Amino acid sequence: MQRVLFLGFGSEQQTTNMLFKKLADAASSHVDSVFKIRQFPAGVANKLRYGLRQIAEDWRLARQHDRIVVYASAALSLPILLACKLLGRPTAVFVWDIYPDSKVHASGGKQGLSIALHDWLERAGLRLASRIWVPSTDYLHAPSLAKHRHKVGILPLWPTLQRIHRKPQPVADPVRVLFTGQVLASRGLEAAYLRLIDVFGPRVELHIYGEIVEKLSPAFEDSHRVIYHGLKPQAELIQEAQNYDFALICLEQEYPLPAAPSKSLFYLSLGLPMLYFGPKVSFLDEYFIGKVAIDITRPEAADGFRQDVARLCDGLDLQLPSTFQALDLKWDKIAKVF
């Protein structure tokens, strides 16, 4: 039985590590899977210095395992990817965010020496990888992956929670919409909230669970219909989420990079109908829109939206199990990774 190391970074609560832990668990019946998380310091430069100090350990880990699986940013795994290349060990890199492009976009396009270095190291890491896995077809067009099309495969994101069977309940008045995640300008929350008002009227409530990373406009932040709950432990969040009518997924409409919003999987596990506002996203279009979610981005009369919402709610009990099953991890789905 081959020994496979799944190497993550940060904390166990990070979505990326929850995805990797689920992948390692799903693979454990066929491979000897080991899941390890490294704690990196803040800041790109500090992370890179820390990574360089891990060279000896990375060489040891590469020798001890038959295969190494990491996720982007590949630059943070460069030493172990290089060690595996020298030892002839196959590696896989999962790319869910395009680095450093997503960081550049979040900073308003600011670039400097550290970004240039990150870009070079990221491309070097991707060159060393035996395989690269992305969640949807739109990632295939990312410039940083264009040279690696021959080794890029598609594996959609998967739920990290067991499916919760939510009791059917009538839509409340006022309608209560849940948003979880960091508050960032790139989320397009303000525009999404205005569209929620178009759909449900001015009494709609938007409940936000997460960290406010970037300040939004005073008119949005001071609205008594936008309620902040802060960060909550996952168990508490799961419990409170049952009280909401819909869950919101949103990106700014001009977001230029491919995306696969992982919160969609969290909402899917909770059995919440979803509303999406943002640019076209292949992952959502293929698995969510028209099944367990509707796209509220397009300009449309309120009556049209209300009809879509009614159809979404009426068909939810039928669509939730099939959508969850299509994305859930099974060996026949992930065997190609190994």
CATH number for the domain that contains residue 120: 3.40.50.2000
**CB contact at 8 A, 104 and 98:** no
Q: Is residue 45 part of a domain?
A: yes
Question: Is residue 146's pLDDT more than 90?
Answer: no
104 shares a domain with 220: no
**What SS3 string covers the chain?**
CCEEEEEEECCCCCHHHHHHHHHHHHHCCCCEEEEEEECCCCCHHHHHHHHHHCHHHHHHHHHHCCEEEEECCHHHHHHHHHHHHHHCCCEEEECCCCCCHHHHHHCCCCCCHHHHHHHHHHHHHHHHCCEEEECCHHHHHCHHHHCCHHHEEECCCCCCCCCCCCCCCCCCCCCEEEEECCECHHHCHHHHHHHHHHHHCCCCEEEEECCECCCCCHHHHCCCCEEECCCCCHHHHHHHHCCCCEEEEECCCCCCCCCCCCHHHHHHHHCCCEEEECCCCHHHHHHCECCCEEECCCCCCHHHHHHHHHHHHHCHHHHHHHHHHHHCCCHHHHHHHC
The domain total for the chain is 2
Banded model confidence at residue 51, pLDDT cuts 50, 70, 90: low
- Give the domain extent around 210: 176-325
Residue 166 is assigned to a structural domain of this protein? no
On average, the pLDDT of the chain sits at 89
Would you say residue 268 has pLDDT above 80?
A: yes
Average pLDDT over residues 116-140: 93
Whether residues 219 and 248 fall in one domain: yes
Whether the per-residue pLDDT at 107 is higher than 70: the answer is: no
User: Which position has the higher pLDDT, 60 or 332?
Assistant: 60
Instruction: pLDDT band for 109, please (50, 70, 90 cuts).
Output: low
Angle between helices 302-314 and 316-327 (to 10 degrees): 70
- 164 lies in some domain: no
How confident is the model over 227-253, as a mean pLDDT?
93
What mean pLDDT is predicted for residues 198-219? Answer: 85
Please give the pLDDT value at position 104. Answer: 58
Distance CA 62, CA 4 (A): 10
| 243, two tokens | 């009280």
Q: Taking the chain, what is the end-to-end CA distance rounded to the nearest angstrom?
A: 11
Give per-residue pLDDT as tens, 286-328: 999 999 999 999 876 566 778 888 899 899 999 999 999 999 9
- Residue scoring higher pLDDT (338 or 134): 134
β-strand partners of 134 = 154
92 and 212 housed in the same domain: no
Q: Which of 48, 54, 93, 50 is nearest to 70 (CA)?
A: 93
- Residue 194, both tokens: 């205005």
Does residue 299 belong to any structural domain of this protein? yes
134 shares a domain with 105: yes
- Confidence at residue 30, expressed as pLDDT on a 0 to 100 scale: 93
**Is the domain of 203 the same as that of 233?**
yes
Question: Residue 43 pLDDT > 90, yes or no?
Answer: no
Least confident of 82-86, 250-254, 299-303: 299-303
- Measure the CA–CA gap between 228 and 62, rounded to whole angstroms: 45
244 & 135 share domain: no
Residue 11 and residue 150 in one domain:
yes
Judgement on whether residues 35 and 104 belong to the same structural domain of the protein: yes
| Domain end marker among 87, 121, 155 | 155
Residue 163 lies in a domain: no
Burial class (CB in 10 A: 0-12, 13-18, 19+), 30: middle
Mean pLDDT over 163-167 rounds to 85
> In terms of domains, do 131 and 46 share one?
yes
Contact 97, 57 (CB under 8 A): no
Residue 87 and residue 204 share a domain: no
- Of 125, 155, 185, the one marking the end of a domain is 155
Is residue 133 domain-resident?
Answer: yes
Which tokens sit at 75? 């630059």
Q: How many residues does the chain have?
A: 338
For residues 57 and 124, state if they share a domain. Answer: yes
The predicted structure's pLDDT at residue 9 = 87
pLDDT on residue 285:
96
Question: How much is the pLDDT for 154?
Answer: 95
The two tokens of residue 45 are: 């430069």
Beta-carbon neighbour count of residue 299 at 10 Å? Answer: 7
List the strands of the sheet with 226-228, edge to edge.
226-228, 205-209, 176-180, 246-250, 274-277, 293-295
Residues 108 and 203 in one domain: no
For a pLDDT cut of 90, what percent of the chain falls above it? 59
pLDDT band at 167 (very low <50, low <70, confident <90, very high): confident
Q: Which amino acid is at 308?
A: D
User: What is the Cα–Cα distance from 59 to 229, expressed in whole angstroms?
Assistant: 44
